Amino acid sequence: MHRFHHSRLSLLVAALAVFVVLPGLAGPVDAATKRWTARCDDVRVRTQPQVSSKAVTSLDEGARVVAVKTVRAGKWTARCGGALESRRWLKIVSINGTSTKSLFGRDAIFAAKGLFRYVKTLDAKEPDPTPEPAPTTSLISNCSVRLRSTASTSGGSAGTIDENTLVTSSGTVTGSSWQADCGSTVSGNSWLKLTAVGGRSVSSLYGVNVVYAARGLFRSVTTTSGFREGIDISHWQGTINWSMVAAAGKSFSIAKATEGVGYRDDTYARNKTNAMANGLKFGAYHFARPENDPVREADWFVDNADYQHGMLIPTLDLERTGGRGPTGLTNWTKAWLGRVQARLGVKPMIYMSPHFWRTNLNDTRWFADNGYDVLWIAHWGVSTPQPPAENWGGKGWTFWQYTSDGVVPGISGRVDLNRYRFDSFARVTY
């Protein structure tokens, strides 16, 4: 057996000590990475980097998180200072100073990266992260628009898109001057760099990574109304591209489920699945036929709407009298609402026009005064809706259908447009 020289033995011991210690240091160094803050409210945090995975919580604007890495996974779309989309997710290990392990029993959770603002690197020796590509923005064409191969009117034509086409832009560049008639005469030298048109990538449509279009011929899909924007639909809208609807800034949809007794809308189940999968709040309505028994109609609705927690509360759509006078129609409405409440445990909302309510239900306040607080009013062509029943018992409207003549990317033909008056859907969620 050979003997090691004392100095060599000391070196070996030191080397072994380093070998033992370094693995123990690797975990903390990897975990102490980047701190971020939420850029907007209602940022969903999920168990996996997929919009279909379970949401464990939602964060308010300014919430602080620590993320150990960025992963590329399922596509997400959101509104956060504009319409955004990406496949990048933060792998989060701490929220507001508390570990995800203690909060949710999970080593890490995930949230869409574009909804956060980078704050700093926690390890001072670590360099700042490589800047993320700017989030994409969704816009809608105001008129027929010619697409160009370069940011110039002399650039080759890649094609022409119709009015109300949804596009995705990765940013703007300054190019040659342009002028066009697009509802009014507009001009400028700012050009959009388009990466998708009508929900399809530019590369698949035109064989190039980007095409250009005059910026002034488009409008943002984000609303400036101050309300949450949404739609209501039925089989008349046919097959809907829900990812485009979501990208166009719509945050909720209410769909026809049933009518009278015996009629089911054959698009309801598909619309429910796809709308919810694309992040829209979703509810169901029943078109009333008051010539029938109200309890049978209520049971038909509940049996076919397949209500589940997280949906918007159910709706009674009152547009027909069924030959009943004001007293008879009021009693019929009470019976339908009471039966649905008994079965689902929630008071439904009521949809009607002010004229219908005042003419056919004698402008009764009974419903507003007895807990049916959620009014969905159909009042077109006005700047502000005028609820019946003394401003719905002083409570005002909750949803407002302000036109039946809307145009939304992803939907062929016209569609009803609606607004929700409050910031949070909590008060109208089943």
Each residue's pLDDT tens digit, 297-353: 999 999 999 999 999 999 999 999 999 999 999 999 999 999 999 999 999 999 999
Please write the tens of the pLDDT for every residue from 244-266. 999 888 999 999 999 999 999 99
Residue 158 C-alpha from the chain's centroid: 31
Contacts 24+ apart (CB under 8 A), 69-74: 69/33, 70/113, 71/110, 73/48, 73/49, 73/110, 74/49, 74/50
Give me the percent of the chain exceeding a pLDDT of 70: 87
Tell me the β-bridge partners of 98: 95
Q: Point out the catalytic residue in the list 85, 265, 297, 317.
A: 317
Last residue of a domain, one of 152, 187, 220: 220
- Whether residues 171 and 58 fall in one domain: no
Last residue of a domain, one of 166, 194, 220: 220
Tell me the β-bridge partners of 388: none
* Helices of type H across 278-420: 294-305, 326-344, 354-360, 366-369, 388-393
Q: Predicted confidence band at 200 (pLDDT cuts at 50, 70, 90)?
A: confident
Residue 195 pLDDT > 60: yes
From first CA to last CA, the distance across the chain in angstroms is: 80
CATH number for position 198: 2.30.30
- Whether residues 215 and 232 fall in one domain: no
Highest mean pLDDT among 87-96, 226-235, 257-266: 257-266
Residue 307 C-alpha from the chain's centroid: 20
Q: Point out the catalytic residue in the list 85, 232, 265, 373.
A: 232
- Whether residues 381 and 241 fall in one domain: yes
Residue 75 pLDDT > 70: yes
In a domain, 26, yes or no: no
Number of folded domains that form the chain: 3
In a domain, 6, yes or no: no
Q: Predicted confidence band at 135 (pLDDT cuts at 50, 70, 90)?
A: low
- Whether residues 403 and 322 fall in one domain: yes
258, with CB counted inside 10 A (0-12, 13-18, 19+), is buried
pLDDT at 48: 93
pLDDT at 125: 46
- Whether residues 60 and 158 fall in one domain: no
- Whether residues 258 and 329 fall in one domain: yes
How far is 101 from 93, CA to CA, in rounded Å? 8
- 130 neighbors 151 (Cβ within 8 angstroms): no
- Whether residues 235 and 208 fall in one domain: no
In a domain, 22, yes or no: no
- 217 neighbors 161 (Cβ within 8 angstroms): no
The position carrying tokens 């693995």 is 23
- 232 neighbors 285 (Cβ within 8 angstroms): yes
In a domain, 278, yes or no: yes
- 82 neighbors 222 (Cβ within 8 angstroms): yes
- Whether residues 150 and 261 fall in one domain: no
How far is 45 from 342, CA to CA, in rounded Å? 34
Reduced to 3 states (helix: H, G, I; strand: E, B; else coil), residue 336 is helix
pTM of the model: 0.59
Structure tokens at 92: 């989060």
Helix (H) or strand (E) holding 70: strand 64-79
- Whether residues 160 and 50 fall in one domain: no
CA-wise closest residue to 245 among 233, 257, 258, 227: 233
Please write the tens of the pLDDT for every residue from 148-160. 999 999 989 989 9
Q: Point out the catalytic residue in the list 41, 42, 163, 319.
A: 319
- Whether residues 214 and 359 fall in one domain: no
pLDDT at 2: 39
Residue 168 pLDDT > 60: yes
| Residue 318 CB contacts under 8 Å (≥ 6 apart), including other chains | 288, 333, 350, 351, 352, 356, 357
Structure tokens at 261: 């007794």
- Whether residues 243 and 351 fall in one domain: yes
pLDDT at 7: 45
Question: Which residue type is seen at 278?
Answer: N
Q: Predicted confidence band at 225 (pLDDT cuts at 50, 70, 90)?
A: low
In a domain, 345, yes or no: yes
Last residue of a domain, one of 220, 251, 267: 220
Angle between helices 326-344 and 294-305 (to 10 degrees): 40
Residue 15 pLDDT > 80: no
Burial state string for 58-76 with b = 16 or more CB within 10 A and e = fewer than 16: ebeeebebbbbebbeebeb
In a domain, 7, yes or no: no
Q: Is 405 part of the annotated catalytic residue set? A: no
pLDDT at 141: 87
CA-wise closest residue to 92 among 70, 61, 115: 70
Task: Identify the DSSP state of 215.
Answer: G
Mean pLDDT for the stretch of residues 125-139: 54
In a domain, 13, yes or no: no
Domain span at 174: 137-220
Q: Predicted confidence band at 122 (pLDDT cuts at 50, 70, 90)?
A: low
CATH number for position 423: 3.20.20.80
CA-wise closest residue to 232 among 319, 308, 164: 319
Q: Is 390 part of the annotated catalytic residue set? A: no
Q: Is 162 part of the annotated catalytic residue set? A: no
Reduced to 3 states (helix: H, G, I; strand: E, B; else coil), residue 88 is strand
Reduced to 3 states (helix: H, G, I; strand: E, B; else coil), residue 20 is helix
pLDDT at 255: 97
DSSP string, 228-269: EEEEEE-GGG-S--HHHHHHTT--EEEEEEEETTTEE-TTHH
pLDDT at 139: 83
How far is 211 from 168, CA to CA, in rounded Å? 11
Mean pLDDT for the stretch of residues 88-116: 90
Mean pLDDT for the stretch of residues 169-173: 87
In a domain, 18, yes or no: no
- Whether residues 92 and 169 fall in one domain: no
